[in-house]
Structure 1
Amino acid sequence: MDKELLPRWGWLLVGLFVVATVANMLNYAVLGPAGLHEEYFVITVITGMAPVLIYIGVWYDDDRQHYWEHRSERIFGDVVFVLVGAALGSSIALVMLTDLGATGLIADIAAMVAGFVLSWGLFWWRNPELYRDEAGR
């Protein structure tokens, strides 16, 4: 993929659209018929979007290209951490808010924030060298 074809926000938009489409197809074709309530469909969308938000920056920024020199097993492990973190964070937040009576957009946004923060935190925990220059160290 050519980085110059689109600006960073363009790649991010394309990636998020593709992942949201795939996650919704998975929700309606597999998870819905398997018994997952529609109010929890947002968890799969958030889980799919988290790697896009993290890895577009790692792929696009020239000063983070050394990340791709890691072994493929390490990168796969990082992706698993990001997916599990997003699923766990968004699930906890959504279930907690649903139990408190919050539904709709507020609960979805809170679940999104919790999922993205936990997934990025786990990614950062495994790869602090990618962000050292930004922290001033």
Structure 2
Amino acid sequence: MAAAQAKKPEKDPVNIVHQNAILCETIKKENECQRLYTNYSINPFKKMYTLTGKPNSLHDSADGEEDDNFLRIIKRSTQEPGKKFEFPQTEAQEVGWYYKPLLPQDRGDKRIHYPRQNTEITKYMDEAWKQKEQQENLQ
């Protein structure tokens, strides 16, 4: 057991100059991507719940101007992604994004439409399964 511990390679001591260079590069990259926003508005992706005011309060019942931008953002936030965006925003949205069939369905065309057909055997087994389920439910 002592021989196994002796074979471990020793780690090099921490090089402070390299660590400082890595830190400086990280801070430089963060500063390049940082943007200062001064135009504040509501978050359209957060659900908003409004509370009604008191019925006899004057400041709640006073008519004010409606903010069209605010109403447009709220309306857009409640829409489904297909109406908000032209293309899917994530990989998961790609499934089912284009839900309309590429070709119109023609149920009269026997080459591509195969309706369910019951034979005597399938009808018999359907009835047998129904009777079995009814007997199990009665017990």
TM-score grouping bracket, smaller chain normalisation: under 0.3
Structure with bigger RCO (C-alpha 8 Å, 6+ apart): 1
With normalisation by structure 2, the TM-score equals 0.19
Which structure shows the bigger proportion of residues in helix conformation?
1
